[in-house]
Amino acid sequence: MSRAIQPATDATRARLKALADKPLPLEEWRRRAAIPLTDDERERTLELVRWFRRRYPTAAERLAYARRAYKRWARPAA
C-alpha cells in the first residue's frame, strides 16, 4: 500500500532551517564555492528560469507565487 507524503511538521521545518542556516567551516565553504558550474547544471537552471518567467511574466506574479509556495510548504501537517 502506498503511503501519502505528509507536509513537514513544524519541528522538521525548524530542523531543516537550522541546517540550511548553519555556517560551514570556512575551508569547506571555499572548497564548495570553487566547484565550477557544469553545462548541464547551467541548462537545467535556465530551463527552470525560462519556465518561471513564462508562467509568471511580471514581478508581482513572481512574488505572489513565492508567497503561495511558502504557504504550501509551511501548511501544518495533518
Distance CA 14, CA 8 (A): 10
Distance CA 49, CA 12 (A): 28
Q: Do the Cβ atoms of 9 and 77 come closer than 8 Å?
A: yes
Q: Is 77 in the site for another protein (CB under 8 A)?
A: no
Considering only residues 14, 15, 45, 77, which one is a binding residue for another protein as defined by CB under 8 A?
45
Our measurement of the distance from residue 43's CA atom to the centroid of its chain's CA atoms, rounded to an integer in Å, reads: 17
CB of 2 to another protein, least distance (A): 26
What are the residues binding another protein (CB under 8 A)?
Answer: 19-26, 28-30, 32-33, 37, 41-42, 45-46, 48-49, 52-53, 58-60, 62-67, 69-70, 73-74
